[in-house]
Each structure stands twice: as C-alpha cells, then as structure tokens.
Structure 1
C-alpha cells in the first residue's frame, strides 16, 4: 500500500512540475510577443515608459499550441501584462489546478503561476 502511495505522489509531483514548466514557457512567449507589440517597441524607441497591459499579445489558439498540457481537463491559463517600475511583468497562471494528494503538498501548489520581467 505504501509503495502505491509513493508512486502516485511522484506522478502528482511530476504533473505539478510539467504545469510549472508550461507556465514558464507561456510567460516567455508572452514576453517575446509583448516586446514585439507596438506599446513596448515604440516606448523603447522614444525612450518613454511602455504602457503595456492585459492579455493582448497571444491568441487562445497560439497559447493552446504552445502549452497544450495546460488546457487538459478543461483548464485555461491566463496571461497578464503589467507595467510598473522599470520593467514590464508578464505573469501566467492556471486556475482550477489542484494536486491529488492535498494533504502532503503545500496549499501553494494548488495555484501555480510564473512570471518574467522585461526591463526597459
């Protein structure tokens, strides 16, 4: 019985790790798309602060092609872009994700997110 619990715990942790890697990939793709978007490019050329915000850079089809695992079981990742300080921050998260063995993992594992910053 203990060996089955251990095996399922390893699978559960692996599922979390692939979710985190997918979120990091999506954040990177969102950051690249934001840099190519007019709000960032024009701001860098004119040496002003960019006003990038929201999720306007990647279509749902492109996100689905980049990270198909995040769309499994009806999940839907979100991508948000916020300008503040001296960087544009692109954050991705997926709601509805939950670990199977909730008693052994921290509750923070149930709301995975990743972000990347674009300095300007």
Structure 2
C-alpha cells in the first residue's frame, strides 16, 4: 500500500495545542492581575478605615456617643496611597477611596475606575469594575 503524505501534520497539531495552551496561560495571567488588584483594593480599604478611625471625626463621635459624620477621602494623601498600593498606580491608574456614614457603621470603599480585563469576553462584566469595602461599626 502506498503511504499517505504526512508532511505538515505536526505543525497542524502544534497549532491546535498551542492555541489552547496560550489561551489558558493568558487567562491565568489575566485572572492573576485581577486578583492582585482586588487584594490591593482591600489593603487600601483597610488602611483608609484605620486612618478614618484615628481621625478626629470617628474618635470624637465614639467618645461623645454620637453618630460619626465622616465622608469623602480626606484621610490618606495620594503619596500615602501610592506607597501602600503601588500596583494600582502602574500605567497611570488612580484608585478612589470614599468614606460614607450610614446606619450603624462607617463604610470605606475603594474602587479602580480604569481597570479592564485583557479578555473581557471570557470573564463576567463585574470583573471590569473591581471594588472593595470595609465597615467600621460604632
């Protein structure tokens, strides 16, 4: 019997396998970038909560047994934020930190407005607007 020509089969198999492996690798890198962004946002929210508790607004309210009226982002300077979470400032990013008083807690929320996934079609849309928050009960 005559043998069929097998030239190019290995290249075709490599293309099929390489496409799957590269998609997996890029997906892992993209998810890792999202996870480090979330961890940095949680760290910034914790630092903002600690700064809000030390600030006169929260401390005086607790001592006088009144509701604190903390709001805005007045507790951490931009340089302090940059020192805490340098990853978020890479490529010109700028996280926001807001403090809101309501109910029985002060909520410190951080978010990253300019973040987007490299492969947005394979991840949920909520991944494109990461945010983290911390509650300080009083």
User: Which of 104, 114, 117 is equivalent to 1:86?
Assistant: 104
Indicate the RMSD between aligned Cα atoms, in angstroms. 0.4
Unaligned runs of 5+ in 2: 1-18
The correspondence for 1:54, drawn from 72, 78, 85, is 72
Q: Residues 31-46 of structure 1: matches in 2 within 5 Å? A: 31-46=49-64
Cα-to-partner distance string for 1:42-96 (whole Å, 9 max, x where unaligned): 0000000000000000000000000000001111000000000000000000111
TM (normalized to structure 1)? 0.99
Structure 1 Cα separation of the partners of residues 90 and 129 of structure 2? 16
| Structure 1 segments of 4+ aligned residues over 4 angstroms from their partners | none
The structure with the greater share of residues assigned to strand is 1
Where in structure 1 are there 5+ consecutive unaligned residues? Answer: none
Match of 1:101 among 107, 119, 134: 119
Task: Show the counterpart of 2:90.
Answer: 72
SS at structure 2 position matched to 1:51:
coil
Q: Could you say what secondary structure the match of 1:71 adopts?
A: helix
